[in-house]
Amino acid sequence: MADAPTGSKPRVVVASDHAGVEIKLAILEAVAADGFPVEDLGPETTESVDYPDFAEAVGNRVAEGTASFGVLVCGTGIGISIAANKIPGIRAAILYDDTAARFARIHNDANVAVFGARTMTVDQIVSRLRIFLNEPFEGGRHAKRVEKISQLENKPPRP
Ligand code: RB5
């Protein structure tokens, strides 16, 4: 079967920690099958790794604009989303159901989808990711709120 054309679709970068390696492979396959240009940023094996390193790899690619969307997987999705959200410009959201997947895009303009390998099935993850990658940001009143999120990156903590 010929490859799906990838020219017009946004680039997606995917990474996990050791807990998410198998699910990462299923994600890469599904995203490529849907015609998105997609890159695997590791890890390659299930040897124990530190999830902040992979959150950083994906977050930097999205923040610098060489990828439009990131996908991250750890055991629960929690550690890797906390780490990714430390990178300026990253809005990482754990997609705990289909509605969250939709609203993370249309209201929050999330640019990194996060999943828990120990808390979600492959089918749930692929369904949520397909929703996420195909929903546009609605803008309007939500743009002001997303801008306020960005401003928090530069605000010193109050005493
Ligand atoms: C690794 O065992 C685990 O801590 C990690 O995958 C993740 O669940 C952290 O939030």
Residue identifier of the C-alpha nearest atom 10 of ligand 1: 79
- Domain limits at 131? 12-152
Largest CA distance in the chain: 61
Count of positions (residues) in the chain: 159
Distance 77 CA to ligand 1 centre (A): 8
Query: Looking at residue 159, what is its pLDDT?
Result: 79
Quote the number of domains for the chain: 1
Has residue 1 been placed in a domain? no
**Residue 20, domain member (yes or no):** yes
Active site residues: 107
pLDDT tens per residue, range 138-157: 999 999 999 999 999 999 98
Task: Tell me the CA–centroid distance for residue 110 and ligand 1, in Å.
Answer: 22
Residues of the chain with pLDDT below 50 are: 1-3
Q: How far apart are CA 54 and CA 2, in angstroms?
A: 31
The CA distances from residue 30 to 89, 119, 148, in Å, are 26, 19, 34
- Please report, for the domain that includes residue 66, its CATH number: 3.40.1400.10
Residue 6 lies inside a defined structural domain of this protein: no
74 lines ligand 1 (CB under 6 A): yes
